[in-house]
Amino acid sequence: MSQSNSKVEQSLTIMKENGLKYTKKREAIITYLIRRNRYITAREVYEFMNKEYKGVSYDTIYRNLHDFEMMNLLEATDLNGEKKFRFHCCQEVGHHHHFICTVCGKTKEIHMCPMDFFKEQLSGCEIEGHRFEIFGRCEECR
């Protein structure tokens, strides 16, 4: 089984464990996100799905993306005022952050976290979470 198929199977198992029924559309969304391997908009997913499944609604696509994010299958970010999604589940990489290309959406993992620096400055505070992303243009888009 390829790594991509394994990720799809793991994702489908997580969906089932969270009460979502299997559908070919959900499998197609997850497969598309795995293959794209970058942050993409709900509109991009919708356009892809509408080619495969004529008449699928944008609301259905967005609702599924939101559900997948809540199940930790996807991670989301806001880029240029628009929410974008990226496949996240089943990653073997530990805690990390991203460089995100503002042109094509390509991402690069950053294997360092700046939280140690901030923890020192926030003594006495309880940090509940954080998000750290660097935006710019990748090698191809420069």
Tens-digit pLDDT profile for the chain (142 aa)? 566 788 999 999 999 999 999 999 999 999 999 999 888 999 999 999 999 999 999 999 999 999 999 998 998 888 778 898 988 865 555 677 888 888 888 888 888 888 878 878 888 888 887 878 888 999 999 9
Here the CATH number for the domain that contains residue 110 is 3.30.1490
**116 alpha carbon, distance to own chain's centre:** 25
Cα gap 100→79, rounded to integer Å = 9
Domain hosting residue 108, numbered range: 97-136
Residue 42 in domain: yes
Q: Phi first, then psi: what are they for 38, rounded to 5°?
A: -160, 170
Taking CB atoms within 8 Å and a gap of at least 24, the contacts of 54-62 are: 56/25, 60/25, 61/29
The tokens 């888009």 sit on which residue? 141
Residues 28 and 71 occupy one common structural domain: yes
Please count the other Cβ atoms lying within 10 Å of the Cβ belonging to residue 118. Answer: 13
Please count the other Cβ atoms lying within 10 Å of the Cβ belonging to residue 104. Answer: 13
Q: Phi first, then psi: what are they for 139, rounded to 5°?
A: -55, -45
Residues 21 and 83 occupy one common structural domain: yes
Report pLDDT for 2.
66
Residues 80 and 110 occupy one common structural domain: no
Residue 104 in domain: yes
Residue 142 in domain: no
Residue 123 in domain: yes
Residues 82 and 101 occupy one common structural domain: no
Report the number of distinct structural domains present in the chain.
Answer: 2
Residues 15 and 61 occupy one common structural domain: yes
Report pLDDT for 104.
85
Q: Do the Cβ atoms of 131 and 98 come closer than 8 Å?
A: no
Residue 141 in domain: no
Report pLDDT for 32.
96
CB-hemisphere CA count at 13 Å for 64?
A: 28
